[in-house]
């Protein structure tokens, strides 16, 4: 980004270059240019602006800053997410996280063809060699994503069940449908048999998924405005229409604990004997402890708890789920 006309500070500072990229991002005339401006090196120095900083320091990895994250969550259609994930300059942890987030986003929006594409890319990720080695010694952390590659677009019930299964899994972590910005940081899988308060940070990361599926505030100084949803001119009309439809669907989805309680009850109606039902109900009830406070959260958490104890009173999931919650 820097050239002879730049100040010495910018020319020698990765942080300065990142600032220039952030300033230029809204002016990107093509998607290729947008990606070059969006993917930025992590500054590894404590004081990157200091004149004594080493100009040849190697960045630890690439990252997505807040401006890019907000753009992805509100303005970028899913195909753009996948093209970004395919960029070879993107850090592996970012790539895999983007693909898993895109998978959740697509399944929630019932765009199963796009979810399968994200799954195929995630399974084919170069980091899968390490994942396969790990899986040989224990559970596969993306087993559900791997299975989704073979699901039919028309099998809506199977996709809904798989999303519920990944949410309640003790070996997988379902990422939220928006990019949270915690690059490379993966919360550990759930331990539903242990009270959520045993490790506050882990419980919030594993149980809580989203307050708002689009990941942007609806009130306050950071609240999303119409400008946040304006798509860039370089997108095709087809992808503009896809993004508009996706935003509409995600806006209609309630908070995580409400959504998964409703999905658990729907699965119970389809197959009361499905062993996933009591497990999913238990996790959804506990999830309400870490979501945003709302009367509806408490109402659905209480309903989930009552249903769990009324229909599966002798299950270990009922025994480990004694309270309902109304958010924090």
pTM of the full predicted structure?
0.86
Tokens of 298: 């408490």
Tell whether 34 is covered by a domain: yes
Question: What pLDDT, on the 0 to 100 scale, is given for residue 1?
Answer: 46
276 & 148 share domain: no
Question: What pLDDT, on the 0 to 100 scale, is given for residue 52?
Answer: 42
Question: What pLDDT, on the 0 to 100 scale, is given for residue 135?
Answer: 52
21 & 151 share domain: yes
CB under 8 Å, gap of 24 or more: what pairs does 59-63 form? 59/14, 61/91, 61/93, 61/94, 61/183, 61/184, 62/89, 62/90, 62/91, 62/94, 63/91, 63/94, 63/183
How many domains does the chain divide into? 2
146 & 281 share domain: no
Exposed, middle or buried by CB within 10 Å (0-12, 13-18, 19+), for 4? exposed
Taking only the tens of pLDDT, the chain with its 328 residues reads 444 345 565 567 778 888 899 999 999 999 999 999 999 988 754 444 444 444 444 444 678 899 999 999 999 999 999 999 999 999 898 899 999 999 999 999 999 999 999 999 999 988 655 555 555 678 899 999 999 999 999 999 999 999 999 999 989 999 999 987 544 444 556 655 544 443 433 333 457 789 899 988 887 888 888 989 999 999 999 999 999 999 999 999 999 999 999 999 999 999 999 999 999 999 999 999 888 888 999 999 999 999 999 999 999 999 999 999 997 7
3-class DSSP state of 322: coil
Tell whether 325 is covered by a domain: no
146 & 26 share domain: yes
The DSSP H or E segment spanning 4 is none
Question: What pLDDT, on the 0 to 100 scale, is given for residue 49?
Answer: 44
146 & 265 share domain: no
Question: What pLDDT, on the 0 to 100 scale, is given for residue 51?
Answer: 40
Whether 287 and 209 have beta carbons less than 8 Å apart is answered as: yes
Contacts of 191 (CB under 8 A, 6+ apart): 170, 198, 202
Question: What pLDDT, on the 0 to 100 scale, is given for residue 140?
Answer: 92
Tell whether 95 is covered by a domain: yes
265 & 148 share domain: no
Tell whether 193 is covered by a domain: no
| Torsion angle (degrees, nearest 10) of CA 41, 131, 117, 63 | -10
Tell whether 94 is covered by a domain: yes
Give me the sign of the Cα torsion angle 305, 306, 312, 314: positive
> Which residue segment(s) compose the domain that 264 sits in?
256-320
Whether 112 and 95 have beta carbons less than 8 Å apart is answered as: no
147 & 282 share domain: no
Tell whether 201 is covered by a domain: no
Q: Tell how far CA 12 is from the center of its chain.
A: 34
Contacts of 107 (CB under 8 A, 6+ apart): 115, 148, 159, 162, 163
Tell whether 70 is covered by a domain: yes
Tell whether 268 is covered by a domain: yes
Tokens of 198: 């045993």
Of the chain, the end-to-end C-alpha distance in Å amounts to 44
Question: What pLDDT, on the 0 to 100 scale, is given for residue 218?
Answer: 80
Whether 17 and 10 have beta carbons less than 8 Å apart is answered as: yes
| Among candidate residues 58, 63, 30, 27, the one with its CA nearest the CA of residue 45 | 58
3-class DSSP state of 83: helix
């Amino acid at each position: 980004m820097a050239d002879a006309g730049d100040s010495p500070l910018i020319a020698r500072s990765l942080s300065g270059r990142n600032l220039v990229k952030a300033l230029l991002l809204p002016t990107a005339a093509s998607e290729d240019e947008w990606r070059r401006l969006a993917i930025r090196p992590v500054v590894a120095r404590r004081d990157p602006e200091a004149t004594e900083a080493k100009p040849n320091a190697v960045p630890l990895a690439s990252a997505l800053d807040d401006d890019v994250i907000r753009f992805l969550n509100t303005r970028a259609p899913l195909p753009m997410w996948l093209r970004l994930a395919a960029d070879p300059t993107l850090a592996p942890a970012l790539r895999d996280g983007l693909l898993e987030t895109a998978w959740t986003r697509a399944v929630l929006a019932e765009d199963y063809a796009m979810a399968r594409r994200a799954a195929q890319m995630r399974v084919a990720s170069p980091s899968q060699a390490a994942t396969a080695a790990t899986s040989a010694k224990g559970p596969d952390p993306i087993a559900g994503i791997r299975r989704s590659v073979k699901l039919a677009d028309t099998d809506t019930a199977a996709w809904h069940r798989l999303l519920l299964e990944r949410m309640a899994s003790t070996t997988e972590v379902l990422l939220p449908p928006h990019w949270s910005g915690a690059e490379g940081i993966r919360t550990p899988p759930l331990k539903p048999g242990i009270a959520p308060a045993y490790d506050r940070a882990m419980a919030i990361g594993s149980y809580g998924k989203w307050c708002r599926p689009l990941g942007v505030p609806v009130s306050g100084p950071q609240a999303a405005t119409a400008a946040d949803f304006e798509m860039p001119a370089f997108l095709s009309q087809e992808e503009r229409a896809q993004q508009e439809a996706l935003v509409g669907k995600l806006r209609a989805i309630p908070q995580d604990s409400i959504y998964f309680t409703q999905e658990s009850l729907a699965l119970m109606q389809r197959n009361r004997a499905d062993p996933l039902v009591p497990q999913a109900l238990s996790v959804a009830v506990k999830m309400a402890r870490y979501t945003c406070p709302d009367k509806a959260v408490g109402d659905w958490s209480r309903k989930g708890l009552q249903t769990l104890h009324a229909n599966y009173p002798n299950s270990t999931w009922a025994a480990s789920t004694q309270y309902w919650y109304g958010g924090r």
